[in-house]
Structure 1
């Protein structure tokens, strides 16, 4: 009987400790939430920067999103054309970014060693 009462008392004390810990966490959370909202309101009064087109020669009208969408749809319908467009895009990218990375240098060295060059 003593064991049962001791176990019951221990369980009860642990439950009370758990409830107190949870209550403390909830109170701490309630104390933090209003201060975060106050900080959010502080920055919303500042003017948002306008979105700018990176190339000043282009305007939104020149971009023609409908034509670009139709071009993408037509390209996607033909799998061979998709690969061709990808290769062209990759070539353009490599021309714009001529930096050779370590993988490209390794491929060149392998081609030299194997005599495929």
Structure 2
């Protein structure tokens, strides 16, 4: 009988220790209200590297300050953007833009591609 009580007493003490440790771990989590954040917070002042609120001219000027090639690319992007806005105003102009882009593509790529070569070969073989 003493052996049973001794083993029961030992099991009771171990379970109390385990429950106490679990309680301590859960309770210690309540004291960590502030956790470190490595993300950049919101600031009301405008940082020097922000390009969100710049006008297109300011963006181009800034690109030219970096180097001339960047300025030229910025101008080209701005012109392409303005052209796309103008072209998207009516459905007819969108079709004209598509045709203009196809002509420009064909002008740049005058060599026939693999599919066109295959079509020509099939036409020669079939005689059509």
Q: Same fold (TM over 0.5)?
A: no
Q: Which has more helix, going by share of residues? A: 1
Task: Calculate the TM-score normalised by the size of structure 2.
Answer: 0.35
Which structure has more relative contact order (CA 8 Å, sep 6+)? It is 2
Task: Calculate the TM-score normalised by the size of structure 1.
Answer: 0.38
Bigger radius of gyration: 2
